[in-house]
Amino acid sequence: MREVNISQLWSRAWYLFKGNWLLFVGLLVLFIAQFIIAGRWGLYISILMTIILAPPVLVRAGYLVARKGQYSLRVDFGDLSPLLKVLIYQFILGLIPGSFVVLGSMLADPGGVILVLVGYNLLFISYLFGWAGHYAILSGRAGIFSAIGQSISLTTQNFGQVFPALLSLIGLVVVGWLPCGLGLPVVLPIGSIFLPLLYFALTDEEGVSHAKSLRLG
């Protein structure tokens, strides 16, 4: 098991965010515009499209910033195939948990509540062991399906490092939600940079982060 310094990873993520905050604001404006335009077909359609389209873009943006130190909207949208692969990967991760949540939401009895709770627990487990697959795909190390196995293997081998790192991310997101969600425009971009930094540190993949220097021992 490799040891990484989580606090230094967060410090690096914050530093990289400060150097690219304007570009992330641009992404936020695009998400808002997409939400408003999709709202013409109804609120639920608008929310659904945002949930589907925004995460892959944010994942790749964070990856590019962590690896190259900068982010370009032209680069991100110039080649849509990585975004499509990440979108499909996220769909696979959330398919079974999401099915439980949707089915449980349609039931008005206690069984529905149980199904929803099971779905959210499965979603947590799915992303706990599948978080690294996005970056295996973006780095070219794996295809959509082989990325699942690579992510499970990386997480299992480094569980003592990955679990507290992901808990720290969840805690930061909760803090971002507290002031009526006003902190999320800052928290989510920083988190999207933090995760690939963690991936680089655990896989020896080089990036602008110099992740090896963030590893202890």
Tell me the mean pLDDT in the region 166-194.
87
CA distance 79 to 173: 29
Q: What is the pLDDT of residue 216?
A: 44
Q: Model confidence over 59-109: pLDDT tens digits?
A: 998 999 998 876 666 665 667 788 889 989 999 998 888 888 888 888 877
Any domain includes 74: yes
> Is the predicted pLDDT of residue 217 greater than 60, yes or no?
no
Element spanning 125, H or E = helix 110-130
Percent of the chain residues past pLDDT 70, beyond the cut: 83
Q: Which of the pair, 57 or 197, is modelled with greater confidence? A: 197
Q: What confidence tier does 208 reach under pLDDT thresholds 50, 70, 90?
A: low
Give tens-digit pLDDT for 138-150.
Answer: 998 889 999 999 9
Structural domain for 166, as ranges: 6-214
- The pLDDT score that the predictor gives to residue 53 is 77
More confident residue, 44 or 112: 112
What would the pLDDT profile of 153-163 be if each residue is shown by its tens digit?
999 999 999 99
Determine contact, residues 148/134, Cβ cutoff 8 Å.
no
Assess if residue 1 is contained within a domain.
no
Task: Please state the φ and ψ torsions of residue 50, each to the nearest 5 degrees.
Answer: -65, -45
* Percent of the chain topping pLDDT 90: 38
Q: How confident is the model at residue 43 (pLDDT cuts 50, 70, 90)?
A: low
Backbone angles phi, psi at 215, to 5 degrees: -90, 140
Burial pattern 197-207, b for ≥16 Cβ within 10 A else e, equals: bbbbbbbebeb
* Between 2 and 189, residue with greater pLDDT: 189
Query: Does residue 66 belong to any structural domain of this protein?
Result: yes
Q: Per the structure block, which two tokens stand in for 12?
A: 């690096």
Long-range contacts of 150-157 (CB under 8 A, 24+ apart): 154/199, 154/202, 154/203, 155/128, 155/129, 155/131, 156/129, 157/1
Number of domains in the chain: 1
Nearest to 194 by CA among 153, 150, 164, 154: 164
**Burial of 215 from C-beta contacts in 10 A (0-12 / 13-18 / 19+):** middle
Separation between Cα atoms, residue 195 and residue 124, nearest integer Å: 16
CA distance 46 to 194: 28
